[in-house]
A and B are shown apart, each in its own frame.
Chain A
Protein backbone atom coordinates (compact mmCIF):
# COMPACT_ATOMS: atom_id res chain seq x y z
CA UNK A 1 0.00 0.00 0.00
CA UNK A 2 2.77 2.34 1.01
CA UNK A 3 4.66 1.52 -2.18
CA UNK A 4 1.60 2.27 -4.26
CA UNK A 5 1.27 5.65 -2.52
CA UNK A 6 4.91 6.45 -3.25
CA UNK A 7 4.40 5.44 -6.88
CA UNK A 8 1.33 7.65 -7.22
CA UNK A 9 3.15 10.55 -5.58
CA UNK A 10 6.10 10.12 -7.97
CA UNK A 11 3.73 10.16 -10.91
CA UNK A 12 2.03 13.28 -9.62
CA UNK A 13 5.33 15.16 -9.38
CA UNK A 14 6.54 13.98 -12.77
CA UNK A 15 3.71 15.78 -14.56
CA UNK A 16 6.06 18.51 -15.94
CA UNK A 17 8.03 15.77 -17.73
CA UNK A 18 5.00 14.99 -19.82
CA UNK A 19 4.15 18.61 -20.51
CA UNK A 20 6.23 18.95 -23.68
CA UNK A 21 4.78 15.90 -25.34
CA UNK A 22 1.37 17.50 -24.99
CA UNK A 23 1.74 19.43 -28.30
CA UNK A 24 -0.22 17.98 -31.13
CA UNK A 25 2.10 15.70 -33.13
CA UNK A 26 1.92 15.49 -36.91
CA UNK A 27 -0.30 12.77 -38.31
CA UNK A 28 2.49 11.30 -40.44
CA UNK A 29 4.90 9.49 -38.06
CA UNK A 30 7.86 9.89 -40.45
CA UNK A 31 7.34 13.65 -40.64
CA UNK A 32 6.83 13.85 -36.89
CA UNK A 33 10.18 12.06 -36.42
CA UNK A 34 11.89 14.62 -38.67
CA UNK A 35 10.29 17.46 -36.73
CA UNK A 36 11.24 15.97 -33.35
CA UNK A 37 14.86 15.42 -34.33
CA UNK A 38 15.03 19.02 -35.55
CA UNK A 39 13.56 20.28 -32.27
CA UNK A 40 16.40 18.59 -30.41
CA UNK A 41 18.88 20.74 -32.36
CA UNK A 42 17.22 24.08 -31.74
CA UNK A 43 18.07 26.09 -28.67
CA UNK A 44 15.30 27.48 -26.53
CA UNK A 45 15.85 31.24 -26.61
CA UNK A 46 14.31 31.76 -23.20
CA UNK A 47 16.03 29.06 -21.13
CA UNK A 48 19.11 28.96 -23.36
CA UNK A 49 20.66 25.67 -22.31
CA UNK A 50 17.75 23.52 -23.28
CA UNK A 51 16.56 22.47 -26.67
CA UNK A 52 13.05 23.53 -27.63
CA UNK A 53 12.20 19.83 -27.50
CA UNK A 54 12.77 19.86 -23.74
CA UNK A 55 11.69 23.37 -22.90
CA UNK A 56 8.36 24.34 -21.47
CA UNK A 57 8.74 28.02 -22.40
CA UNK A 58 5.99 29.63 -24.40
CA UNK A 59 8.32 30.65 -27.22
CA UNK A 60 9.68 27.09 -27.42
CA UNK A 61 6.14 25.84 -27.83
CA UNK A 62 5.52 28.35 -30.62
CA UNK A 63 8.74 27.31 -32.35
CA UNK A 64 7.77 23.65 -32.10
CA UNK A 65 4.47 24.49 -33.78
CA UNK A 66 6.31 26.46 -36.43
CA UNK A 67 8.73 23.59 -37.13
CA UNK A 68 5.86 21.11 -37.43
CA UNK A 69 4.11 23.47 -39.85
CA UNK A 70 7.20 23.78 -42.03
CA UNK A 71 7.85 20.03 -41.98
CA UNK A 72 4.23 19.36 -42.93
CA UNK A 73 4.62 21.83 -45.79
CA UNK A 74 7.53 19.75 -47.06
CA UNK A 75 10.45 22.05 -46.13
CA UNK A 76 13.77 20.28 -45.61
CA UNK A 77 15.47 20.40 -42.18
CA UNK A 78 18.17 22.53 -43.81
CA UNK A 79 15.61 25.11 -44.96
CA UNK A 80 13.98 25.20 -41.54
CA UNK A 81 17.35 25.63 -39.80
CA UNK A 82 18.11 28.52 -42.15
CA UNK A 83 14.71 30.06 -41.45
CA UNK A 84 15.49 30.12 -37.73
CA UNK A 85 19.09 31.28 -38.18
CA UNK A 86 17.84 34.20 -40.31
CA UNK A 87 15.77 35.36 -37.36
CA UNK A 88 17.78 34.41 -34.28
CA UNK A 89 21.34 33.93 -35.56
CA UNK A 90 23.60 30.88 -35.38
CA UNK A 91 23.05 30.92 -31.65
CA UNK A 92 19.71 29.19 -32.11
CA UNK A 93 21.54 26.04 -33.20
CA UNK A 94 22.75 24.02 -30.23
CA UNK A 95 25.58 22.67 -32.37
CA UNK A 96 27.55 25.57 -33.86
CA UNK A 97 28.04 25.28 -37.63
CA UNK A 98 31.56 24.74 -38.98
CA UNK A 99 32.44 28.03 -40.71
CA UNK A 100 35.40 30.45 -40.70
CA UNK A 101 34.29 32.12 -37.45
CA UNK A 102 34.13 28.75 -35.67
CA UNK A 103 37.23 27.05 -37.11
CA UNK A 104 39.13 27.81 -33.92
CA UNK A 105 36.30 26.47 -31.78
CA UNK A 106 36.12 23.19 -33.69
CA UNK A 107 39.85 22.93 -34.29
CA UNK A 108 41.14 23.82 -30.83
CA UNK A 109 40.80 20.29 -29.35
CA UNK A 110 43.00 18.94 -32.15
CA UNK A 111 45.35 21.89 -31.86
CA UNK A 112 45.81 21.25 -28.14
CA UNK A 113 46.22 17.52 -28.78
CA UNK A 114 49.05 18.24 -31.21
CA UNK A 115 50.69 20.81 -28.91
CA UNK A 116 50.44 18.40 -25.99
CA UNK A 117 51.88 15.61 -28.12
CA UNK A 118 54.85 17.77 -29.09
CA UNK A 119 55.47 18.73 -25.46
CA UNK A 120 55.41 15.09 -24.33
CA UNK A 121 57.74 14.02 -27.14
CA UNK A 122 60.26 16.72 -26.32
CA UNK A 123 60.24 15.73 -22.67
CA UNK A 124 60.81 12.09 -23.63
CA UNK A 125 63.78 12.95 -25.82
CA UNK A 126 65.30 15.01 -23.04
CA UNK A 127 64.75 12.26 -20.44
CA UNK A 128 66.51 9.69 -22.62
CA UNK A 129 69.52 11.85 -23.28
CA UNK A 130 72.45 11.12 -20.92
CA UNK A 131 73.11 13.50 -18.04
CA UNK A 132 75.89 15.99 -18.80
CA UNK A 133 79.17 15.21 -17.04
CA UNK A 134 80.15 17.05 -13.88
CA UNK A 135 83.46 18.94 -13.80
CA UNK A 136 85.04 16.11 -11.85
CA UNK A 137 83.93 13.51 -14.36
CA UNK A 138 85.08 15.71 -17.20
CA UNK A 139 88.58 15.88 -15.73
CA UNK A 140 88.60 12.14 -15.24
CA UNK A 141 87.57 11.56 -18.83
CA UNK A 142 90.29 13.88 -20.12
CA UNK A 143 92.85 12.07 -18.05
CA UNK A 144 91.71 8.68 -19.34
CA UNK A 145 91.76 9.87 -22.94
CA UNK A 146 95.18 11.36 -22.51
CA UNK A 147 96.64 8.20 -20.94
CA UNK A 148 95.19 6.18 -23.81
CA UNK A 149 96.73 8.57 -26.29
CA UNK A 150 100.13 8.16 -24.59
CA UNK A 151 100.09 4.42 -25.07
CA UNK A 152 99.29 4.58 -28.76
Chain B
Protein backbone atom coordinates (compact mmCIF):
# COMPACT_ATOMS: atom_id res chain seq x y z
CA UNK B 1 0.00 0.00 0.00
CA UNK B 2 2.70 2.42 1.07
CA UNK B 3 4.62 2.06 -2.17
CA UNK B 4 1.53 2.86 -4.27
CA UNK B 5 0.82 6.03 -2.35
CA UNK B 6 2.68 8.36 -4.77
CA UNK B 7 0.87 6.78 -7.69
CA UNK B 8 -2.48 7.28 -5.98
CA UNK B 9 -1.69 10.93 -5.28
CA UNK B 10 -0.68 11.57 -8.90
CA UNK B 11 -3.80 9.81 -10.20
CA UNK B 12 -6.03 11.83 -7.85
CA UNK B 13 -4.44 15.11 -8.97
CA UNK B 14 -4.76 14.11 -12.64
CA UNK B 15 -8.45 13.36 -12.10
CA UNK B 16 -8.94 16.73 -10.39
CA UNK B 17 -7.21 18.69 -13.16
CA UNK B 18 -9.02 16.79 -15.88
CA UNK B 19 -12.41 17.40 -14.30
CA UNK B 20 -11.60 21.13 -14.10
CA UNK B 21 -10.43 21.18 -17.72
CA UNK B 22 -13.42 19.33 -19.11
CA UNK B 23 -15.94 21.41 -17.25
CA UNK B 24 -17.94 23.72 -19.47
CA UNK B 25 -16.43 27.00 -18.42
CA UNK B 26 -14.90 29.97 -20.14
CA UNK B 27 -11.75 31.21 -18.43
CA UNK B 28 -12.41 34.71 -19.74
CA UNK B 29 -15.75 34.87 -18.02
CA UNK B 30 -15.54 36.52 -14.64
CA UNK B 31 -18.29 35.61 -12.22
CA UNK B 32 -20.55 38.52 -11.52
CA UNK B 33 -20.96 39.62 -7.93
CA UNK B 34 -24.11 41.55 -8.83
CA UNK B 35 -26.48 38.60 -8.63
CA UNK B 36 -29.21 39.16 -6.06
CA UNK B 37 -28.13 42.75 -5.55
CA UNK B 38 -30.01 45.94 -6.15
CA UNK B 39 -29.19 47.23 -9.64
CA UNK B 40 -26.79 50.20 -9.53
CA UNK B 41 -28.44 53.57 -10.05
CA UNK B 42 -27.88 55.54 -13.22
CA UNK B 43 -29.05 58.71 -14.89
CA UNK B 44 -27.95 58.79 -18.50
CA UNK B 45 -28.95 60.68 -21.63
CA UNK B 46 -31.38 58.84 -23.89
CA UNK B 47 -29.83 57.73 -27.15
CA UNK B 48 -32.78 58.34 -29.41
CA UNK B 49 -34.67 61.27 -27.88
CA UNK B 50 -32.66 64.46 -27.58
CA UNK B 51 -32.47 66.03 -24.12
CA UNK B 52 -34.33 63.20 -22.41
CA UNK B 53 -32.85 61.11 -19.65
CA UNK B 54 -33.08 57.45 -18.74
CA UNK B 55 -32.82 56.50 -15.07
CA UNK B 56 -32.89 53.21 -13.19
CA UNK B 57 -36.62 53.85 -12.63
CA UNK B 58 -37.15 51.90 -15.87
CA UNK B 59 -36.10 48.79 -13.89
CA UNK B 60 -38.85 49.21 -11.29
CA UNK B 61 -42.03 48.94 -13.30
CA UNK B 62 -43.14 45.69 -11.70
CA UNK B 63 -42.28 43.71 -14.82
CA UNK B 64 -39.04 41.78 -15.34
CA UNK B 65 -36.73 43.27 -17.95
CA UNK B 66 -33.44 42.56 -19.64
CA UNK B 67 -30.64 45.11 -19.47
CA UNK B 68 -28.37 44.71 -22.45
CA UNK B 69 -25.00 46.47 -22.69
CA UNK B 70 -24.06 46.88 -26.34
CA UNK B 71 -22.05 49.00 -28.74
CA UNK B 72 -21.95 49.48 -32.48
CA UNK B 73 -18.21 48.76 -32.51
CA UNK B 74 -18.70 45.40 -30.84
CA UNK B 75 -18.74 42.43 -33.19
CA UNK B 76 -20.44 39.87 -30.87
CA UNK B 77 -23.22 42.45 -30.31
CA UNK B 78 -23.97 42.27 -34.00
CA UNK B 79 -24.08 38.50 -33.69
CA UNK B 80 -26.61 38.51 -30.84
CA UNK B 81 -28.80 41.22 -32.35
CA UNK B 82 -31.17 38.88 -34.17
CA UNK B 83 -31.77 37.03 -30.89
CA UNK B 84 -32.57 40.28 -29.10
CA UNK B 85 -35.04 41.13 -31.87
CA UNK B 86 -36.62 37.72 -31.40
CA UNK B 87 -36.91 38.21 -27.62
CA UNK B 88 -38.59 41.57 -28.11
CA UNK B 89 -40.89 40.68 -30.99
CA UNK B 90 -41.81 37.05 -30.33
CA UNK B 91 -41.52 36.77 -26.56
CA UNK B 92 -42.48 40.38 -25.77
CA UNK B 93 -39.71 40.79 -23.23
CA UNK B 94 -38.83 44.44 -22.63
CA UNK B 95 -35.13 45.09 -23.19
CA UNK B 96 -33.39 48.18 -21.84
CA UNK B 97 -30.36 48.99 -23.95
CA UNK B 98 -27.25 50.58 -22.50
CA UNK B 99 -25.09 51.84 -25.29
CA UNK B 100 -21.60 51.36 -23.91
CA UNK B 101 -18.85 53.83 -24.85
CA UNK B 102 -20.18 54.46 -28.29
CA UNK B 103 -20.57 57.33 -30.69
CA UNK B 104 -24.34 58.08 -30.53
CA UNK B 105 -24.51 58.75 -34.28
CA UNK B 106 -22.91 55.38 -35.03
CA UNK B 107 -25.20 53.65 -32.54
CA UNK B 108 -28.26 55.16 -34.23
CA UNK B 109 -26.99 54.01 -37.63
CA UNK B 110 -26.40 50.52 -36.20
CA UNK B 111 -30.00 50.32 -34.99
CA UNK B 112 -31.33 51.71 -38.27
CA UNK B 113 -29.50 48.93 -40.07
CA UNK B 114 -30.30 45.97 -37.79
CA UNK B 115 -33.56 47.05 -36.15
CA UNK B 116 -34.26 48.32 -32.65
CA UNK B 117 -35.23 45.68 -30.07
CA UNK B 118 -35.06 48.09 -27.12
CA UNK B 119 -37.88 49.80 -25.24
CA UNK B 120 -35.47 52.53 -24.26
CA UNK B 121 -31.75 53.13 -24.69
CA UNK B 122 -29.39 54.99 -22.38
CA UNK B 123 -26.06 56.26 -23.66
CA UNK B 124 -23.21 55.35 -21.29
CA UNK B 125 -20.71 57.57 -23.06
CA UNK B 126 -17.85 57.13 -20.59
CA UNK B 127 -18.53 53.57 -19.52
CA UNK B 128 -19.05 54.51 -15.87
CA UNK B 129 -22.43 52.82 -15.64
CA UNK B 130 -20.77 49.75 -17.14
CA UNK B 131 -18.20 49.79 -14.34
CA UNK B 132 -20.95 50.24 -11.73
CA UNK B 133 -22.63 47.12 -13.08
CA UNK B 134 -19.35 45.20 -13.10
CA UNK B 135 -19.35 44.88 -16.88
CA UNK B 136 -16.01 43.68 -18.24
CA UNK B 137 -16.89 43.95 -21.90
CA UNK B 138 -19.84 44.12 -24.26
CA UNK B 139 -22.18 42.41 -24.78
CA UNK B 140 -23.43 41.55 -21.33
CA UNK B 141 -27.08 41.06 -20.45
CA UNK B 142 -28.69 41.23 -17.02
CA UNK B 143 -32.04 39.83 -16.00
CA UNK B 144 -33.68 42.28 -13.60
CA UNK B 145 -36.90 41.56 -11.74
CA UNK B 146 -39.63 44.18 -11.60
CA UNK B 147 -38.25 45.71 -8.40
CA UNK B 148 -34.79 46.54 -9.63
CA UNK B 149 -33.05 43.46 -8.27
CA UNK B 150 -30.53 41.68 -10.50
CA UNK B 151 -31.43 38.03 -10.95
CA UNK B 152 -28.79 36.83 -13.37
CA UNK B 153 -26.16 37.93 -15.81
CA UNK B 154 -25.33 36.49 -19.20
CA UNK B 155 -21.76 37.04 -20.22
CA UNK B 156 -21.11 37.44 -23.94
CA UNK B 157 -23.66 37.29 -26.72
CA UNK B 158 -27.18 36.00 -26.11
CA UNK B 159 -27.49 32.71 -27.99
CA UNK B 160 -30.55 30.55 -28.64
CA UNK B 161 -29.40 28.15 -25.95
CA UNK B 162 -29.27 30.85 -23.28
CA UNK B 163 -32.70 32.15 -24.33
CA UNK B 164 -34.25 28.75 -23.85
CA UNK B 165 -32.32 27.60 -20.80
CA UNK B 166 -31.91 30.85 -18.89
CA UNK B 167 -33.80 33.93 -20.04
CA UNK B 168 -37.26 32.48 -20.68
CA UNK B 169 -37.40 30.18 -17.61
CA UNK B 170 -36.03 32.87 -15.30
CA UNK B 171 -38.43 35.54 -16.55
CA UNK B 172 -41.25 33.05 -16.23
CA UNK B 173 -40.16 32.29 -12.65
CA UNK B 174 -40.20 36.00 -11.74
CA UNK B 175 -43.69 36.45 -13.13
Stretch among A8-16, A73-81, A82-90, A110-118 lining the B interface: A82-90
Closest A residue to B33 using CB positions:
A89
Most chain B CB atoms below 10 A, which of A48, A62, A86, A88: A88
Most chain A CB atoms below 10 A, which of B27, B32, B134: B134
Chain B 56-75: CB-based contact to A (< 8 A → 1; otherwise 0): 00000000000000000000
Partner of B127, one of A46, A62, A85, A89: A62
Partner of A59, one of B28, B32, B136: B136
| A66 and B77 alpha carbons, distance in the complex (Å) | 26
Chain A interface residue count, CB cutoff 8 Å, equals 14
- Report the minimum CB–CB distance from A123 to chain B (whole Å): 12
- CB neighbours of B101 from chain A (8 A): 58
Given that A58-B101, A88-B30, A89-B33 are known contacts, is A45 also in contact with B136, CB under 8 Å in the complex? yes
Given that A45-B136, A46-B137, A88-B136 are known contacts, is A62 also in contact with B131, CB under 8 Å in the complex? yes
Closest B residue to A89 using CB positions:
B33
Q: Please tell me if the beta carbons of A91 and B137 are within 8 angstroms of each other in the complex.
A: no
Interface size range of chain B in the complex: 10 to 19
Partner of B132, one of A46, A58, A59, A87: A87
Does more than half of chain A's interface fall in helix, strand or loop, or is it mixed? Answer: helix
- CB neighbours of B33 from chain A (8 A): 85-89
Q: Please tell me if the beta carbons of B131 and A48 are within 8 angstroms of each other in the complex.
A: no
Q: Please tell me if the beta carbons of B134 and A91 are within 8 angstroms of each other in the complex.
A: no
Report 30 cross-chain contacts, Cβ distance below 8 Å, ordered by A residue: A45-B30, A45-B136, A46-B136, A46-B137, A48-B27, A48-B28, A58-B101, A58-B127, A59-B137, A62-B126, A62-B127, A62-B128, A62-B131, A63-B131, A66-B128, A66-B131, A86-B33, A87-B33, A87-B34, A87-B131, A87-B133, A87-B134, A88-B30, A88-B134, A89-B30, A89-B31, A89-B32, A89-B33, A91-B30, A91-B31
- List chain A positions with a Cβ less than 8 A from chain B: 45-46, 48, 58-59, 62-63, 66, 85-89, 91
A87-B131, A88-B33, A89-B30 are known; give 10 further A-B pairs, CB within 8 A. Answer: A45-B30, A45-B136, A45-B137, A46-B137, A48-B27, A58-B127, A59-B131, A62-B131, A86-B33, A87-B33
